[in-house]
A and B are shown apart, each in its own frame.
Chain A
Amino acid sequence: KQEVTQIPAALSVPEGENLVLNCSFTDSAIYNLQWFRQDPGKGLTSLLLIQSSQREQTSGRLNASLDKSSGRSTLYIAASQPGDSATYLCAVINNDMRFGAGTRLTVKP
Chain B
Amino acid sequence: NAGVMQNPRHLVRRRGQEARLRCSPMKGHSHVYWYRQLPEEGLKFMVYLQKENIIDESGMPKERFSAEFPKEGPSILRIQQVVRGDSAAYFCASSATGHGMSTEAFFGQGTRLTVV
Contact = CB atoms under 8 A, between A and B. Distances in A.
Interface of A: 31-32, 34, 36, 42-46, 49, 51, 89, 91, 93-102
Nearest to B109: A43
A20 B21 CA distance: 36
Contact of B35 (A93, A99, A100): A99
B65 interface: no
B106 A42 contact: no
A3 B105 CA distance: 19
Pairs A-B, 4 closest by C-beta atoms: A101-B42, A44-B107, A43-B109, A99-B43
Given A43-B107, A44-B107, A49-B102, A97 B45 contact: yes
Contacts of B98: 95
B48 interface: yes
A43 B109 CA distance: 4
B116 interface: no
Given A43-B91, A43-B107, A49-B104, A93 B43 contact: no
B102 A93 contact: no
Given A46-B104, A95-B55, A31 B99 contact: yes
Interface in B45-80: 45, 48, 55-56
B43 A96 contact: no
Interface string B76-111: 000000000000000101000011111111111110
Contact of B102 (A44, A51, A96, A97): A51
Contacts of A91: 105
